Amino acid sequence: MNNFAVINQMNKILTGILAFLILTASQITGQDVTFTGSSKNVVRVGERFQLTYSVNAEGQNFRGPDLNKFRVLGGPSTSSSSRIEIINGNVSQRVDYSFTYVLQASEEGIFDLSPAKITVDGKTYESNPVKIQVVAGSSQQGNQQQGNSNGSQQGAQEDLSDDIFLKAVVDKTNPYQGEQVVVTYKLYFRVNISNLIFDKEPSFKGFWVDDLLENPQKFKQYQETYKGQVYQVAEVRKFALFPQQNGKVEIQPAQLTCQAQVQNTAKKSRDPFDSFFNDPFFNRVKTVEVPLSSNSVNLNIKPLPSAGKPADFGGAVGEFDFSSTLDRTSLKANEAMNLKFTVTGSGNVELVDKVNVKFPPDFEVYDPKISKNMRDGQGGVSGRKTFEYLLIPRTEGDFKIEPVKFVYFDLKKKQYITLETPEYNISVAKGDGSSADITYSGLNQSDIQYIGSDIRHIRINNPELRLIGSLFFGSNLFYILITVPLLLFILFLIIWKNELKKRSNIALMRNRKATSIARKRMKKAEIFMKENNRDPFYVEVSQALWGYLSDKFSIPMANLSMETVEETLQRKEVKEETIKKFIETLNNCEFARFAPGDNHAAMENIYNGAVNIITMMEKELKS
C-alpha cells in the first residue's frame, strides 16, 4: 500500500503542475518580449570575455553584431532556463534564452557593437547596443574598473580543473648534453571536448627539436588512471629534444583552448516547483570555453664527461653503427669510383654532419651526396645517414685510403666508443682515353668533368645517298606536314579558349563538384566506419560537411564558422529546420570525435545523419 500511496501522490503533483501550466498559458504568451545584450564594460588586450544576448521568449533567426574587431573563440552557444513562481495565488512563468559568444580583445579602443536581432512570433526585435572599452594589457586601471562586474561572471564559470587539464610529461629529467629527451603533452578529460586551438605552442630554446607526431590533427587516444580517476588521454603534441648546452633549463608551459560540454546547473530555491524543474533531467547541456595551461618542465642537463674524450669526437650521443663500402679497388686513371659511409642507430643521428676522411692528393673528390632515412617513433628518433663520395684518380699508381674513425658517447656504457672502417688499397692503371664510355653509378654524372681528346674518329659506316634533284622541299608531303600542325594549333587555341572561359568561373566549377566531392569523402568515411577506425572516420565526415559548404557557396575554409553557415543558408532560403539539422550534425561530429569509449552505433548515427542532411540540402537548393 505504501508504494501505491507514493505513486498516487506523485500523480497528484504532476496533475497540479499541468493544471497550473494550462491556466497560465494565456498569461505566458501575452508577456512583453525583452531582448538585451551584456558584456564587461572594460577588458584588457588579449583577455577572453563573454558577450551574452538574453531574450525572455523562444526566438528564431538570431543574428549577432559585427565582431570583426575581436577574435571570436566560440559561439554563439545557446542555453535556456525556466522558472515558475506562485505568489499570493498568482502563477507566473519566466523562460530565458541566451546566446553567448566567447571573444578575445585584440586591439585598444572603444567599440560600439550594433544591436543584435532575433525573430519572435514573426516579429523582429533588436537588442540594445553594447559598448566595450579595450585597454592595454599591462594596465592595472582596467582591472580595477571591471572588478565588480567581473566577479559575478567568474563566480558563474564552471570549475573543470578535475575534469580536463593539460600535462607535459618527459621520459627523463637529467639527460646528458646531446641525449634524446621525449616530451609529450597529454590532454586528460572526462567530458566531451572539441575545437582544440593552441594559443601558445611549446617552445624549446637551446634544443634541436624533431616532431614525433605524423599527423598533428590525429591524436593517439587511450585511457589512463590518474590520482585514482580514469581519464581519456589524447597526446596532442610529442617532440624529441636534443639539448645543445648543459645546465638547468626550464621548458615554459604550453597553452591551448578547447570547448567542453557540461551540464547546466541551476541555483537552489526553496520553491518546490523550482526544485522539480531544476532537476538535471530537465537541464540542457551547454558548451563552455576552457583555457588550459600545461605545467613547466625543469631539466638538469649534464655535460658529457671530459675524461677519455677523443680529439675527433663530433658530438654524437646514443647508440650507433658505422660502416663503409667501396665499389671498386682496381681501375684506370680518369675513371670514377664511389666510397660510401653509413651511420645507423638511435640518438641525434641527424646532427652528424660529416665524416673525417683523408683522400690521396692525386684523387679528385666531389662534395659528398648526403642522404638520410629517419624513423620518428614513440620512443624517439632513429634511422640511417649516408655520405657518398665520388672519387676520380687522375694518375696511375697504388694508393691507400686510411681507416676512418667515428666517435660517439654510449649512454648505456657511459663511455666514448670509437668505430673504424677498414683500410682500402686502390690500384690505378694508366688510362687509355676511353673513360668517356664508362658509366658511373650513384651520383649526378653531369658533375663529372670530361678529360680526354676532342678529336672524333673517322666515320666508317655506310652513309645514306640521295639522287640529285630529288628534294623534299616543295613536295606534297612537305605541304601536308606544314599545314597539319597549323590546323591542329588553331584547333587547340579554340578548345583552350573555351576551357579557360569555363575554368574562369571558379564558383561554378566548385558548385558543380561540391556534391560529388562530398560523396567521395562519405564513401571513405563508410570504409573507416566498417573498420571501426574512429579518428579517420570523423575527420572524413567533418571534411565532407565543411567542404560541401565551402564548395557549394564559394566560401574559403578559413572563413567558415557556425555563424557564417547559418547566415549563408538563410540567404539561400533554406528551411530553418534543415539549417538546424545541419549545424547539429556538425556539432555532433566534433563532440563525438573526443567522446570517451568506442561506440560503433554512434559512428553509424553520425554517418547516417551526415548523408541525410547533405541529401536534404541538395534537394532544397535545386528546388
Question: What is the mean pLDDT of the segment spanning 237-248?
Answer: 90
* Domain shared by 540 and 587, yes or no: yes
Residue-wise pLDDT tens digits, 147-182: 333 333 333 346 788 889 999 999 999 999 999 999
Question: Sorting pLDDT into bands at 50, 70 and 90, what band is 444?
Answer: very low
Q: Would 275 be classed as within a structural domain?
A: no
Residue 434 shares a structural domain with residue 526: no
Residue 486 covered by a domain:
no
Domain check: are 9 and 42 in the same one?
no
Average pLDDT value for residue range 596-621: 79
Cis preceding-peptide flag for 463 (omega within 30 of 0): no
Whether residue 464 lies inside any domain: the answer is no
Domain end marker among 421, 447, 473: 447
Tell me, yes or no, whether 23 and 35 share the same domain: no
Per-residue burial over 212-225, b = 16 or more CB atoms within 10 Å of its CB, e = otherwise: bbeeeeebebeeee
Q: Against a cut of 0.85, is the pTM above it?
A: no
pLDDT at res. 374: 82
Residue 480 lies inside a defined structural domain of this protein: no
Burial 505-532 (b: 16+ CB within 10 A, else e): eeeeebeeebbebbeebbebbbebbeee
Asked if 194 and 150 sit in the same domain, the reply is no
pLDDT at residue 435 above 80?
no
121 and 20 co-located in one domain: no
In this predicted model, what pLDDT tens digit does every residue of 87-131 receive, in sequence order?
555 545 566 788 888 888 888 888 888 899 998 888 889 999 998
Return the pLDDT at 14. 52
Identify whether residues 125 and 98 lie together within a single domain: yes
When mean pLDDT is compared over 1-5, 48-52, 128-132, the highest value belongs to 128-132
Q: Whole-angstrom Cα distance, residue 73 to residue 196?
A: 11
Average of per-residue pLDDT across 191-207: 86
Query: Domain limits at 543?
Result: 506-622
Instruction: Assess whether pLDDT exceeds 90 at residue 231.
Output: yes
**Beta bridge partners of residue 54, listed in sequence order:** 36, 98
* Shared-domain flag, residues 225 and 140: no
Residue 464 pLDDT level (bands cut at 50, 70, 90): low
Amino acid 77: pLDDT: 75
Check residue 597 and give its pLDDT. 58
State whether 152 and 251 are in the same domain.
no
**Residue 209 forms part of a structural domain:** yes
Q: Dihedral sign, CA of 81, 84, 87, 92?
A: positive
Residue 229 belongs to some domain of the structure: yes
pLDDT for residue 284 is more than 50? yes
Report the CATH number at residue 186: 2.60.40
Instruction: Please report, for the domain that includes residue 587, its CATH number.
Output: 1.20.120
Q: What is the pLDDT of residue 465?
A: 63
The answer to whether residues 324 and 426 belong to one domain is yes
Query: 225 in a domain, yes or no?
Result: yes
Mean pLDDT across the chain: 78
Give the model's confidence band at 428: pLDDT under 50 very low, under 70 low, under 90 confident, else very high: very high
What pLDDT score was predicted for residue 589?
A: 79
**Residue 22 covered by a domain:** yes
Q: What is the mean pLDDT of residues 269-296?
A: 66
Domains in the chain: how many in total? 5
C-alpha cell at 270: 526553496
